Amino acid sequence: MSTTTTVPGADRARRLRTALTVLLAAAAVVGAPFYFAPFQVFQLTMVLLYAVALTGLNLLVGFGGQISLGHGAFFAAGAYTAAVMLDRYDTGHLATLPAAAAGCFLLGLGFGVPALRLRGLYLALVTLSFAVFLPPLLKRLEPVTGGSMGLTVDKPRPPAWTGLAEDQWTYFVVLAVTAAALLLARNLLRSRVGRALLAVRDNESAAEVMGVRLSLHKTLAFAWSAMFAGVAGCLYTWVIGFVSPDSFSFVLSITLLAGLVVGGLASLYGPLLGAAFVMYVPSVSQDLNEAAPGVVFGLLIITVMFVAPTGLAGLPARVLGAVGRRPRRTPAVLDRTPRTVSAPDAEPQSRAAGSGPSAAPGPTAPGPAAPAVADAEPVGAPPRTEKE
């Protein structure tokens, strides 16, 4: 009877806490651009677009089990797609978003072919090569990409009826795209494609026996990951208003992968934490010293790997698990002082070695314990008579 009445109540309480948490988070996210300064709003916008890129990388690395060091190249492809469309063809900003997503999706399908034959470090080197040779290629395509000088485009302007500043309008646009990207990734992982990705990551042979087509899902993992990166690159062009080949070096790919590992692999909230790490750590350490960002970034990665191997997203569960496994200390366990055994049965054992027939008689020490020693019978000794 008690179980039937308690479980629904606990379920309602859990749903109420979840709804309250979501409402508070939504209120904080919506009210942030009205509270912070323009530069801080710009930083929050960058965190959101980095979260979109890390969400795509999480689909490939965290849930797909494939290592990619070329994610920055897909990011650059989406950014240049939007920049070229805005600069050369004078299209609207909204038209560049689906174009960047579709172009990077097809590019990911092409790069998913090596994933069918390669894995591990070999696959990582192939993707890294793409991130290495793309910036020089962009410099040579000067008629289209602007070469080393890059391209400068207009930022999205807020409508007059909103009454928002330019940075606030850009923040809300990027926030809407980020929320849609996170919702799409969540639904994708809960679908048949997501379950197939998890099966391939855990055991390819078992997944193939169960009917999962490895070639299809490995290629799709690259395609979906590249699409999210292309969307993030398009948002980058909107926010910055300028693109150049030097902004998308292979260091960007390493930074994105490090941010995902720090935030938490195979976690829906890990990309958000990793994006904040990628954005704020170099920015804060830059104020200390010009050489500090790289040093601080590396030291924090090492620290997180020791403290939270599953990333920042798994740190609360790790702490709660450690607290739950801690044994409770009782007073008997804490008191380790040896105690003297005063049982009379233990006394003959201590004197058995010297009470045999061949033992030499000696004087008995005076004291209250002497009668008890004299009356004690050694084990195995013959019975004494009255004369003795």
pLDDT digits (tens, 9 = 90+) for 269-306: 899 999 999 999 888 777 776 767 778 778 888 888 88
Q: Cα angle vertex 55, ends 53, 57, to 5°?
A: 75
| pLDDT number for residue 119 | 78
Q: Cα angle vertex 331, ends 329, 334, to 5°?
A: 70
Q: What DSSP designation does 151 have?
A: E
Residue 171 has pLDDT above 80, yes or no: yes
pLDDT digits (tens, 9 = 90+) for 219-276: 889 999 999 999 999 999 999 999 999 999 999 999 999 999 999 988 888 999 999 9
What are 151's strand-pairing partners? 243
Which residues touch 52 (CB under 8 Å, ≥6 apart)? 177, 178, 181, 228, 231, 232, 235, 271
What is the Cα–Cα distance from 317 to 313, expressed in whole angstroms?
8
Instruction: For tokens 């097809």, name the residue.
Output: 106
H or E stretch at 242? strand 242-243
What 3-state class would DSSP assign to 104? Answer: helix
127 contacts 70 by C-beta, under 8 angstroms? yes
What is the phi/psi pair of residue 242, to 5°? -155, 140
Structure tokens that stand for 33 in this block: 């651009």
C-alpha distances in Å from residue 307, one per residue of 19, 95, 133, 304, 322? 31, 44, 36, 5, 12
Give residue 134's identity as a one-letter amino acid code.
Answer: L
Q: What DSSP designation does 98 have?
A: H
Residue range 1-16: mean pLDDT, rounded: 65
Q: Alpha-carbon Rg of the chain, whole angstroms? A: 35
pLDDT digits (tens, 9 = 90+) for 186-210: 999 998 888 888 888 888 888 888 8
pLDDT digits (tens, 9 = 90+) for 70-100: 899 999 999 999 999 999 888 889 999 999 9
What are 152's strand-pairing partners? 242
Task: With cut-offs at 50, 70 and 90, classify the pLDDT of residue 310.
Answer: confident
Dihedral sign computed on CA atoms, order 316, 317, 322, 328 = positive
Which residues touch 99 (CB under 8 Å, ≥6 apart)? 81, 82, 85
What is the Cα–Cα distance from 107 to 50, expressed in whole angstroms?
20
Instruction: For tokens 């912070």, name the residue.
Output: 36
Structure tokens that stand for 57 in this block: 């990388």
Task: With cut-offs at 50, 70 and 90, classify the pLDDT of residue 111.
Answer: confident
Listing DSSP states for 48-86 in one string gives HHHHHHHHHHIIIIITT----S-HHHHHHHHHHHHHHHH
What percentage of the chain carries pLDDT values higher than 90? 43
